[in-house]
Amino acid sequence: MLADRANRALLTVLALVLLVAGAAVLLAGADVYGRDFSRRHLLDNPAARYIGAHGGWFWPVAAVAAAILALLGLRWLAIVVTTEPSQRRINISTDGTTGRTVLDAGALATAVRAEIEDCPGVDDVGTKLSGSPNAPSLALSVTADPDVDLAALRERLEAVVLPRVRYAVGKPDLPVVLDLTYPRRRITRVS
């Protein structure tokens, strides 16, 4: 994924910058830059004198730069926290002779959810489309009533619902991951 590569590249650059800065500080403490350099006061340096002399414009510019870095950091955090991106569109006709037909993934997910919820014994349905627009994959998470026969529900889904979905997207080999579960029951203790 492009976001993963960009994330790794940014983290690598940040790690290299911090590594070089840490090595420079260690070398300064070990008198590599000269004995006078390592014995100086922390704020007795040309950068601190320059900031002190030009503080009227320096601090507002530093505040704007910090705000921009904070916004970039929040954007980066949003990208990192976001899980695998869902597919937004699915290409139904991929040959260039008849044009291109695109199906909205949200509409497909809503239709699949409604179709599965109509099956007896289904409590909840979760759908997720991923992959590329030309080669999507579907993940279904179905929570069934504790009294339902899971084998019969699975057979109905595989015999009726999934062929309809594959037909609707024009992909008879659409990979589907089906997760059938019962809801967690609360344990009541009697004292």
The CA distance from 138 to 17, in Å, is: 42
Say whether both 67 and 151 belong to one domain. no
Could you tell me if 122 and 153 are in contact, meaning their C-beta atoms sit under 8 angstroms apart?
A: yes
Q: Where does a domain end: 81, 113, 137?
A: 81
Say whether both 110 and 173 belong to one domain. yes
**Residue 187 pLDDT class (50, 70, 90 cuts):** very low
pLDDT tens for 133-170 read 777 788 888 888 888 888 888 888 888 888 888 888 77
Say whether both 38 and 98 belong to one domain. no
Looking at the domain assignment, is residue 187 inside a domain?
no
Position of tokens 């500080």? 25
Say whether both 76 and 96 belong to one domain. no
Answer yes or no: is pLDDT of 36 > 60.
yes
Looking at the domain assignment, is residue 191 inside a domain?
no
What is the domain extent for residue 163?
89-181
- Spatial neighbors of 135 by CB under 8 A, at least 6 apart, are none
Looking at the domain assignment, is residue 115 inside a domain?
yes
Total structural domains in the chain?
Answer: 2
Whole-model pTM: value is 0.48
pLDDT tens for 87-121 read 566 666 655 556 667 777 777 788 888 888 888 88
